[in-house]
Amino acid sequence: MSNPYDNPPSEEDIEQTMNEISAKQEAWDPLDLPESQAQLIRDLQAAGAPDAMIARVGAGVYHDYVSTLPMPKHQLVADAQAHDMPEIAHRAKRGDYDDSWGEDND
40-52 pLDDT, tens digit per residue, is 999 999 999 999 9
Residue 8 lies in a domain: no
Is pTM, for the whole model, over 0.95?
A: no
Q: Residue 30 is which amino acid?
A: P
- Specify the pLDDT at position 1: 61
> d(Cα 85, Cα 39) in Å, to the nearest integer?
15
In a domain, 37, yes or no: yes
pLDDT band at 105 (very low <50, low <70, confident <90, very high): very low
| Contact present, 44 and 54 (Cβ < 8 Å) | yes
Quote the mean pLDDT of the chain: 87
Going by C-beta distance under 8 Å and a sequence separation of 6 or more, which residues neighbour residue 91? 43, 97
H or E segment and range at residue 98: none
If one counts the domains in the chain, the total is 1
Q: Is residue 94 part of a domain?
A: yes
Residue 10 resides in a domain: no
pLDDT the model gives residue 106? 40
59 inside domain: yes
What is the span of the domain harbouring residue 101?
30-106
| 16-45 pLDDT per residue, tens | 888 888 888 888 887 788 899 999 999 999
